[in-house]
């Protein structure tokens, strides 16, 4: 579960990125976070991952209170999240298998656990036959699937996907969204940050719209509802 309570963020340059954002995402939900460039979406993600501290207000992420979190506790908070980026962020010299196993190594999983879990997750994202390939030998859609597998492998409470289809064609974008929907159906909370209205409207999901650092709509009415505001 994540919750923002009246969160403000003012950067050192004086830019007001968030103006009293309040929102709550319950466990098991699938949520789209939409808004134009500079609306405050990236700031929300950076606060969720503890890369930034809010100027004021409270943020709760899977049992951690972020404005009070100690630096040493941040890695443990991040382990409750699986993060997917627009540019995939895979390690070029590691194979598909190693890229996914790497995320388990980092949290101290045993060889045995890794050998059991990684093939399962690769199968879930449909890459069981490409585990030995290097990232540059894969298509954009496949690379994003590796990133999803890496985000999933530590069994996080929540997946945060930051523009996950930004570098993909419409067909691959739809595949990735369907995969995220499937992951959500297995019980993982999913938050997708995007500005692709057509894609959002293909799914009947909760859409939180943000603009000028404020939540301007929150409901099940799709992207167009936000555009009409």
The yes or no reply on residue 11 touching another protein (CB under 8 A) is no
The yes or no reply on residue 53 touching another protein (CB under 8 A) is no
CB 159, min distance to another protein, A? 13
The yes or no reply on residue 103 touching another protein (CB under 8 A) is yes
The yes or no reply on residue 106 touching another protein (CB under 8 A) is yes
Q: In angstroms, rounded to a whole number, what is the distance separating the alpha carbons of residues 184 and 58?
A: 26
Cβ within 8 Å of residue 210, ≥6 positions away: 21, 33, 34, 35, 39, 40, 41, 44, 216
What 3-state class would DSSP assign to 59? strand
The yes or no reply on residue 206 touching another protein (CB under 8 A) is no
Site string for another protein, 67-86 (x = CB under 8 A): -----x--xxxxx---x---
- Of residues 71 and 220, the one with the C-beta less far from another protein: 71
Q: In angstroms, rounded to a whole number, what is the distance separating the alpha carbons of residues 60 and 4?
A: 7
The yes or no reply on residue 117 touching another protein (CB under 8 A) is no
The yes or no reply on residue 115 touching another protein (CB under 8 A) is no
What 3-state class would DSSP assign to 19? strand
The yes or no reply on residue 107 touching another protein (CB under 8 A) is yes
Put residue 159 in one of left, alpha, beta given phi > 0 → left and psi -120 to 50 → alpha: beta
Q: In angstroms, rounded to a whole number, what is the distance separating the alpha carbons of residues 138 and 110?
A: 28
The yes or no reply on residue 138 touching another protein (CB under 8 A) is no
Site for another protein, rule CB under 8 A: 49, 51, 72, 75-79, 83, 89, 91, 93, 102-103, 105-111, 150, 154
């Amino acid at each position: 579960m994540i919750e923002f309570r009246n969160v403000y963020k003012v950067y050192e340059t004086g830019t007001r990125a968030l103006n009293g954002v309040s929102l709550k995402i319950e466990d098991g939900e699938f949520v789209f976070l939409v808004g134009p460039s500079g609306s405050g979406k990236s700031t929300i993600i950076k606060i969720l991952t503890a890369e930034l501290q809010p100027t004021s207000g409270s943020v709760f992420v899977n049992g951690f209170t972020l404005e009070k979190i100690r630096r040493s506790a941040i890695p443990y908070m991040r382990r409750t999240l699986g993060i997917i980026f627009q540019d995939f962020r895979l390690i070029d010299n590691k194979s598909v298998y190693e890229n996914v196993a790497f995320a388990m190594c980092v949290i101290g999983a045993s060889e045995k656990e890794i050998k059991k879990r990684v093939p399962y997750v690769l199968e879930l994202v449909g890459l069981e036959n490409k585990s030995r390939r290097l990232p540059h030998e894969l298509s954009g859609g496949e690379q994003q699937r590796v990133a999803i597998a890496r985000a999933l492998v530590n069994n996080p409470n929540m997946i945060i996907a930051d523009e996950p289809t930004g570098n993909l064609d419409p067909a691959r974008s739809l595949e990735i969204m369907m995969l995220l929907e499937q992951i959500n159906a297995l019980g993982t909370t999913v938050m997708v940050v995007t500005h692709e209205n057509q894609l959002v409207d293909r799914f009947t999901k909760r859409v939180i719209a943000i603009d000028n650092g404020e939540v301007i709509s929150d409901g099940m009415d799709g992207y167009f509802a936000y555009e009409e505001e």
